[in-house]
Every structure is written in C-alpha cells, then in structure tokens.
Amino acid sequence: MNVSLVVFQGPSASGKSTLQALLGLPRIVTWTSRAPRAGELDGVDYHFAPRQTLERMKDAGDMLETSEYRGHLYGTSLASIEGTARGAGLRSIVLDASGARVARALLGERALLLGVAASRAECEARLLARGSDAAQIAARLAGYDEEIAALSGCDLIVRSGDGALERAGEIVQALRPLLGA
C-alpha cells in the first residue's frame, strides 16, 4: 500500500516542524486560532484566523477534523486534504493525537504516523529559545507526558535529541525509499 500522507505527531517543541521541513514533502497547511509566532507566515505555517472563522467552517461542514489545544482551536479543512485520499501524491501534515487518529481512519495504512520524541528538558530549552515566557512553557509542557504516551499509536518514532538535527535528517531521508518518495 502506498503512503499518501506522513503525519508528524509529538509534544510541543519536540521538533515536528523541523523534521517535516527536512523531509521536504509538500505540506498541508492547517488552521489555527492562535496568534502567529515571530517569523510565522499566514498561509505558510498555518492559516491564522479568528476562532469564530474556524467555528463557522466547522459548522458549515468544511473541516475534516478540529481539536482544542491549550485554549486554541486547530483544524484541517476538507479542501486542504482533498486529493490525499485519491492518492494525489505524497504530502505531510503536523497533527495532534486526535487529528492523527482521524487521518488513520480516513486513509488507513496510506497514512504513516511519525512520532517525534525529545526529552522534557530538551523541549523546555527549545521553548525558551523560541522566546516563550515561563507561563507559556508551563502550559505547553503540561501535556508532555500524555503526548509522549500517545506516540504509542504511531507507526514509527524518531528521537529528535539535541544536536542530533543532522542525524534526524539522515533518519528522515532514510524513510524516503520506504515512502516511495
């Protein structure tokens, strides 16, 4: 069975987006009601929109799935995922555990769930480096244990240890033949 969607899942600042960029597949851009971080671009990192817009899309049946995460609403639009079920080329997406379950239900084995793990201390240091304040870091790490435990639902787990970016890149590149990419 050919993989059509690589789903990155893992705790905050575990390195999901970094590994996704290293893999270099077309990305499905999801929606969020949270504010952009410094350097994040609308339509590139996320579609940034007010919560009401996301709720309207959800009520109109335009969302495949939505998820509440740390006080914000996230969601994958049906339009963005269109074609994936028909095998219109290999793509990637970053989702939490509930979103990953929806991807699995929709695509079965054509979704490859890739868990990204890093230690709590590594995630904390990266959040600090990303400019988060103490309250934001505490909120982000509150779900750490649960998010690590949820990686048991993944097909494969990559450890994104500090200083291991190069190695992570190699691991991700090693996936390419497996994916037919």
Ligand X SMILES: Nc1nc2c(ncn2[C@@H]2O[C@H](COP(=O)(O)OP(=O)(O)O)[C@@H](O)[C@H]2O)c(=O)[nH]1
Q: Reading across the β-sheet that carries 91-94, which strands appear in turn?
A: 91-94, 5-9, 111-117, 156-159
- Does residue 12 belong to the site contacting ligand ADP (CB under 6 A)? yes
Q: Measured between alpha carbons, how far is 35 from 39 in angstroms, rounded to an integer?
A: 12
Q: Measured between alpha carbons, how far is 78 from 98 in angstroms, rounded to an integer?
A: 16
180 class by beta-carbon count within 10 Å (0-12 exposed, 13-18 middle, 19+ buried):
exposed
CB-nearer residue toward ligand ADP: 15 or 57:
15
Give the range of 18-26, 82-90, 91-99, 166-174 binding ligand X by CB under 6 A: 91-99
Binding mask 79-98 toward ligand ADP (x if CB under 6 A, else -) reads --------------------
Q: Measured between alpha carbons, how far is 139 from 67 in angstroms, rounded to an integer?
A: 16
Give the range of 48-56, 69-77, 104-112, 164-172 binding ligand X by CB under 6 A: 69-77
HSE-up of 179 (CA within 13 Å, CB side)? 25
Number of residues near ligand ADP (by CB under 6 A): 17
CB-nearer residue toward ligand ADP: 14 or 66:
14
Number of residues near ligand X (by CB under 6 A): 16
**Partner residues linked to 93 by β-bridges:** 7
- Does residue 76 belong to the site contacting ligand X (CB under 6 A)? yes
Note whether 144 and 15 are within 8 A (CB). no
**What sign results for the dihedral spanned by CA atoms 24, 28, 34, 40?**
positive
CB 152, min distance to ligand X, A: 16
CB-nearer residue toward ligand ADP: 4 or 18:
18
**By the criterion CB under 6 A, which residues form the site for ligand X?**
12-13, 30, 34, 65, 67, 69, 74-76, 94-96, 98-99, 140
Q: Which residues bind ligand ADP (CB under 6 A)?
A: 10, 12-18, 126, 129-130, 160, 162-165, 168
